[in-house]
Structure 1
Amino acid sequence: MLGLSLACTKHSFLVQSLAELPRIMAEAFEVANAGRPGPVLVDIPKDIQLASGELEPWFTTVDNEATFPQADAEQARQMLEQAKKTHAVRRRWCWYGAGSSGAA
């Protein structure tokens, strides 16, 4: 599972014991909120899902301002104007391809 997810995720975690689950979840949230946007995979095997026991809480905070920057009024106005112009175009067009071909 982890090998397959490398191409489409920022990072993949494998939980190997119930005790490390809180730490891995906290790390996964940090990775997901840092840097470029993208998904993070946390692989929790069935035996860990069905396990019972005590978990130590692992506290962390997420800086929402950095994760979700607020647009100022001028940016919001410009985005609304651009959306209106795009909506006003009579003939629709689509641009396909050019995804990751020039990324390297």
Structure 2
Amino acid sequence: MRYIRWHHLNRGEGWPHFRKGALNPQWKGDDVGYGALHEWIRGNKPKPELCEDCGEHPPFEVMNIIGEYKRDVSDFKWVCRACHMKEDGRMSNLRSATRIEILLP
């Protein structure tokens, strides 16, 4: 059997050089960027059916609870867009900006 065909059939199964997490030589631990940390949380924290805050809408975003960005899944929760904006204060900023635009001629 040619190497290409064998490689295609057996790719990734039982190969020790596919290291994930802390076994990967490029692992950064807690010294990771915002986007990479949120991506890691999405892959390691199970997504519930409904938002963890309101319990009404399906969650789409991962939100940090305490504000310290570390690889701790208990410091994050799955929330819907509205709850995330309320928690961050962006909803009130959006409402006040909309009011100003309406009131201005």
TM-score bracket for the superposition, by shorter chain length = under 0.3
Q: Which has the higher contact order (CA 8 A, sep 6+)?
A: 1
Q: TM-score, normalised by structure 2?
A: 0.21
